[in-house]
Structure 1
Amino acid sequence: MAKASSAGAGRRIISVGPSLALLPFLTYLFIFLVVPTVTVVVGAFQSDAGLTTANVRALGSEAALTALWKSVLLSGITAVIGAVLGGLLAYLVLVGPPNSPLRRITMAVSGVLAQMGGVTLAFAFIATLGYSGVVTEALRSWPGIDIFGSGWLFGLPGLVVVYSYFQIPLMVIVFMPALQGVRPQFREAAVSLGASTRQYWLQVAFPMLRPAFLGSMLLLFANAFAAYATAAALVSQGNPILPLFIRAALTSEILLGQQNLGFALALEMIVVVSVVMTLYAVLLRRTARWLQ
């Protein structure tokens, strides 16, 4: 009996071991994900006088709706640009030899550029395309073209260009596994049944890749929608997108007492990103059926 009890206790200790290994990760998630989310939700329904829904109702104001629309527009445009150009680049790299230097260099550079952002990326574009940037001065000297114009770099068009810089390589990384899942045997089977190249792509390859492509586009949308540091470093005045509007609500020295409005705006962002990532998970599940 004593031996049996010892064996049972040993099995329980062994079974608990893997769960304990997850404790640091779960603690990290709790501190940096759960606690901030709860803080945002609670703060969105609070004011100095107590509980209120005024902050949520303020999301229907013209300023809040304009910031939301510009954020959606920016995220949508850069998601489409990144998905199309990144998907094309991933395909061109994949059709080459498996161990070619081009593929290794492209994947390595994509991994670096996809994580580049913030002040570094903003400064790089200002030094290149700003009023006194290298390219701007070169074109201004000859052939006399002023590409800076009225300062497009520091508005929504500039953010589209800058965000595309990291959206395209991110698409290469997330879409490459789906392209690798389209095996040569699929094309051989289609050709053996009399399909042309056009029929193969329209009726076999594209339908298989569509969920992965749309899912990757949704991931790019969420990535751009939540980006803050690059826009904050590039756009010094005005609040063209939602993250900068939240910054103004939390730190503005002109509009005081707007901290809870910032929480409501952050709650709005959480809802949008949650919907997008849910759709991404659904599409990813459909892709996994044949990718495995």
Structure 2
Amino acid sequence: MRRARSLLGVVPFFAFVAVFLAIPTLVVVAGAFTSDDAGFTLDNLTALGNGYVVNAFVRSVLLSAGTALIGAVLGGLLAYALVTAREGGLLRRVVSAACGVLAQFGGVTLAFAFIATLGLSGFVTVFLRDRLGVDIYAGGVWLFELPGLALVYTYFQVPLMVIVFLPALDGVRPQWREAADSLGGSTWQYWRMIGGPLLAPAFLGSTLLLFANAFSAYATAAALVSQGSPIAPLQIRSALTSEVVLGQQNLGKAMALGMVLVVAVVMGLYALLQRRTARWLG
């Protein structure tokens, strides 16, 4: 009876997971193998080999990998700078709080912010064009294409990297650096033989998390890209809502299943790396 009462506290959590994760996943899996006449079929999975679907996934992977690497490097450097600041100081508290907010600042709001700033009539665009004679759109309207998505995604990837990588940097003990110095080791030797190998699993795991974050993003891309479906999430939207080509709902679910599998593999690798990191962080 006491154990049953203690389990009541996790009921809301499991209810949330069931409604927003388990049930949608089951719907996607079932729909991927369902034909238009409600029978079993593999045609939806076969259609994933179509050129436009493959291209959408390739662009999604390249976009996610590129922004993950840029966000990991820039965020890692910023996190290291925070570690060198005084613990509990104003600078560290302010930057950490700002990263916590900016990492969650996405969706339509973020797209609107970039349009108002760097759009065709954005105040930065107008200032550069009218005051400095610089037209940032001389080569095309890049903000509403893949280059624009890369810039916007990097905006929230960097603060997310700071949040997830900062605990690993905090786990590096000063005694290790002092021991290396006392043995005559240089800074390069310390990072190559001690700091680098220790932080590598955490860095790679954080990079994988950034990849999954960008790969599964939808709202920002949907608000920013008004024409075409260059990446997988927008291709899924097109399949589910198309009024021109009917009967693609289950193809959209098959593409969603492909995204679920990619994210599952990435998060599985992330969990393995986190387990290795936890050995010395603890």
TM range (shorter): over 0.9
1:178-223 Cα shifts (integer Å, max 9, x gaps): 0000010110111122211111111100100000000000000000
Q: Residue 20 of structure 1: CA displacement?
A: 2.1
- Number of the residue aligned with 2:18: 30
- Whether 1:90 aligns to 2:90 is no
- Number of the residue aligned with 1:229: 219
Given the alignment, which residue of 43, 46, 70 partners 1:57?
46
The separation in 2 between residues aligned to 1:34 and 1:249, in whole angstroms, is 22
Structure 2, unmatched stretches of 5+, are none
- Whether 1:81 aligns to 2:70 is yes
Q: Residue 142 of structure 1: CA displacement?
A: 2.6
Given the alignment, which residue of 236, 239, 246 partners 1:256?
246
Aligned structure 1 segments of 4 or more residues deviating by more than 6 angstroms: none
- Number of the residue aligned with 1:110: 99
- Whether 1:123 aligns to 2:112 is yes
- Number of the residue aligned with 2:36: 48
1:144-178 Cα shifts (integer Å, max 9, x gaps): 11002310000000000000010000000000000
- Number of the residue aligned with 1:176: 166
The separation in 2 between residues aligned to 1:45 and 1:65, in whole angstroms, is 19
The separation in 1 between residues aligned to 2:9 and 2:101, in whole angstroms, is 30
The separation in 1 between residues aligned to 2:268 and 2:255, in whole angstroms, is 20
1:115-146 Cα shifts (integer Å, max 9, x gaps): 00111100111111111111111111132110
Q: Residue 99 of structure 1: CA displacement?
A: 2.1
Of residues 108-117 and 13-22 in structure 1, the stretch that sits farther from structure 2 once superposed is 13-22
**Equivalent pair of 1:130/1:148 in contact (CA under 8 Å):** no
1:51-81 Cα shifts (integer Å, max 9, x gaps): 1100000000000000000000110000001
- Whether 1:99 aligns to 2:88 is yes
Aligned runs of 1:130-209 on 2, under 5 Å? 130-149=119-138, 150-209=140-199
The separation in 2 between residues aligned to 1:38 and 1:193, in whole angstroms, is 58
- Number of the residue aligned with 2:207: 217
Question: Larger Rg: 1 or 2?
Answer: 1
Q: Residue 24 of structure 1: CA displacement?
A: 1.6
3-state DSSP of counterpart to 1:47: coil
Code of the aligned partner of 1:253: E
Code of the aligned partner of 2:160: L
Code of the aligned partner of 1:195: G
Q: Residue 25 of structure 1: CA displacement?
A: 1.1
Q: TM-score under structure 2 normalisation?
A: 0.98
The separation in 2 between residues aligned to 1:48 and 1:102, in whole angstroms, is 58
Q: TM-score under structure 1 normalisation?
A: 0.94
Code of the aligned partner of 1:111: G
3-state DSSP of counterpart to 2:214: helix
Between the two proteins, the alignment pairs up a number of residues equal to 280
**Equivalent pair of 1:129/1:148 in contact (CA under 8 Å):** no
Structure 1, unmatched stretches of 5+, are 1-12
Code of the aligned partner of 1:37: T
Code of the aligned partner of 1:84: V
RMSD: 0.8
The separation in 2 between residues aligned to 1:205 and 1:152, in whole angstroms, is 39
Q: Residue 90 of structure 1: CA displacement?
A: 0.5
Of residues 223-232 and 21-30 in structure 1, the stretch that sits farther from structure 2 once superposed is 21-30
- Number of the residue aligned with 2:231: 241
Code of the aligned partner of 1:85: L
Given the alignment, which residue of 36, 39, 62 partners 2:27?
39
Code of the aligned partner of 1:76: A
3-state DSSP of counterpart to 1:84: helix
Aligned runs of 1:2-41 on 2, under 5 Å? 13-41=1-29
The separation in 1 between residues aligned to 2:53 and 2:3, in whole angstroms, is 51
The separation in 2 between residues aligned to 1:132 and 1:31, in whole angstroms, is 42
Q: Residue 16 of structure 1: CA displacement?
A: 2.1
